[in-house]
Structures are given as C-alpha cells and as structure tokens.
Amino acid sequence: GAVVSQHPSWVICKSGTSVKIECRSLDFQATTMFWYRQFPKQSLMLMATSNEGSKATYEQGVEKDKFLINHASLTLSTLTVTSAHPEDSSFYICSAPSLAGKSSYNEQFFGPGTRLTVL
C-alpha cells in the first residue's frame, strides 16, 4: 500500500499563534490531497482539496484566509492554521489517492492525523 505521514502528530499552542501541519506521501506522488477536520465524537468533515501547482479548493464555510493550504510539491501539502483559537482545537487528517491499494480504483490513503489543542 501507499504511506502518508503527518507532522506533528500533536501540537499545543497559545491562542493567536499559527500552526503548520505537514502531510507527505512517502512512496508515491500525489497531485491531489484532501484535508479533513474531526471534532471529538464526530465524523470527518472535508475542509479543502489541495492541488499541486494551483490554489486549494475550500468547502463551504471554511475560511481560506484562516486555513492556508500550500501544495508545495508532488509529495507535500501543508495546512497552516493562522491566529488559532480554542475553537480550532480538533483532529486534522489528510489523505491522498493512490493506485497502490488492493483495489483497482484510486483508494484514498490517510495520514495518522494531527491533534491540535489551542489554549
């Protein structure tokens, strides 16, 4: 299968600071990556689609100026939470599609997630 990593796995920051989360495809190239947010005991909600070489596509209700996405290369996408507030505390997960899965379709491979706590 394909491996997606995220860094950091957890981060605690003060309110008003910015936090950068990295998502890397380790053994395959990903022109597209997805960023999800998951609040405690809730489902995953798509935040944005990250596209290599072009602007990210944000879902309705997600502030693009607050959640900056940069798809710097075919293996790296970053999510920066700017001026973080306690309500941004959540579990952030990225995924990338690859044909390296068991099935013949482009299976999405998920990173291990980043737990953000804003004090």
In the three-class reduction of DSSP (H, G, I as helix; E, B as strand; rest coil), residue 87 is classed as helix
Scanning 14-22, 64-72, 74-82, 104-112 for contacts with other proteins by CB under 8 A, the matching segment is 104-112
Task: Tell the smallest beta-carbon distance from residue 32 to other proteins (Å).
Answer: 6
Rule CB under 8 A: say whether 95 interacts with other proteins: yes
Rule CB under 8 A: say whether 5 interacts with other proteins: no
Q: Where are the beta strands (DSSP E) in the chain?
A: 4-7, 10-13, 19-25, 32-38, 45-51, 57-58, 67-73, 76-81, 90-98, 107-110, 114-118
Applying CB under 8 A, the residues found at the interface with other proteins are: 32, 34, 38, 42-46, 49, 91, 93, 95, 97-98, 101-103, 105-110, 112-113, 115
